[in-house]
């Protein structure tokens, strides 16, 4: 038989349901773009010179000729630049 407690039957207490916590969405980190390194002309020239020297004799004279040619071009550019400044100003 069912037991009686006090007046009538006692009701069982309902358990409260626990609310589920919402998970926070993680923000995606943006990947940083790697900067491309600029190749220097000087290194390129050195590499070319070394290659020529390894390949055959007489390459050094050729390199000296190129240096002189570059110097001449630089001087010519300077002269033209100064002349242009004179004509403008």
Q: pLDDT tens, 56-80?
A: 766 667 778 888 999 999 999 999 9
Domain ranges of the chain: 64-89
Provide the pLDDT for residue 76.
Answer: 94
Give alpha helix (H) positions in the chain: 41-55, 59-88
pLDDT in tens, 18-54: 888 888 888 888 888 888 776 677 888 888 878 777 7
Output the pTM of the full model: 0.32
Residue 89 has pLDDT above 70, yes or no: no
Provide the pLDDT for residue 66.
Answer: 85
The span from the CA of 89 to the CA of 87, in Å, is 6
CB environment 35-74: b (16+ within 10 A), e (fewer): eeeeeeeeeeeeeebeeeeeeeeebeeeeeeeeeeeeeee
């Amino acid at each position: 038989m069912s037991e009686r407690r006090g007046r009538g039957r006692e009701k069982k207490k309902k358990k409260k349901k626990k609310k589920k916590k919402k998970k926070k969405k993680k923000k995606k980190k943006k990947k940083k773009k790697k900067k491309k390194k600029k190749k220097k002309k000087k290194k390129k020239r050195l590499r070319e010179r070394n290659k020529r020297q390894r390949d055959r004799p007489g390459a050094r004279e050729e390199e000296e000729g190129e240096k002189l040619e570059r110097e001449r071009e630089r001087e010519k550019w300077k002269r033209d630049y100064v002349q242009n400044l004179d004509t403008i100003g």
